[in-house]
Amino acid sequence: MIIRLAEAKDVDQLIRMRWDFTIEHDESKKNASFVHFERECKSFFEKALTSGQWFVWVVEEAEKIVSHIYIELIQKVPRPGRVTQPFAYMTNVYTIPEYRNMGVGSKLLSSINDWIKENSYEFVIVWPSDEAITYYQKNGYVHSKEAMEFYPS
């Protein structure tokens, strides 16, 4: 098992995994156009993998990606009297079904936690599903108050 950052060669697998992840949680999306989704995703990855803003971490087993976590660095506005570090937004956390409950996701998350510490990022924010709360808690994450949201109409 190899934990590493995603590369251009991984894009097709990552697109398929994002599709599968979405359908698994919302079957109403399965009638969406895969072609349009794939085009949009490829455009995202062309920018994201070279941006220095997005970090797509993967677990690879026999040249197959079995788990991934996406991290976007969010720059903070400087504040007097302290050095301002970015924080990390974690999203698209997914392990394919046949590799779940084997510690794969926790190993990946542990590697990312080490990377967060090594790079002195201020904190990580993630919005877990109800089913994932225990996963994050056992990996050192704590609940915080809900964020407020605005949805423009």
- The phi and psi torsions of 111 (rounded to 5 degrees) equal -65, -40
> Any residues with CB less than 8 A from the CB of 6 and at least 6 apart, and which?
14, 49, 56, 57, 58, 65, 68
Mean pLDDT calculated for residue range 57-71: 96
pLDDT score for 129: 86
Mean pLDDT calculated for residue range 37-56: 95
Give pLDDT tens digits for 68-101.
999 999 999 988 988 889 999 999 999 999 999 9
Domains belonging to the chain, first-starting first, are 2-137 (3.40.630.30)
At 150, the pLDDT band (50, 70, 90 cuts) reads: low
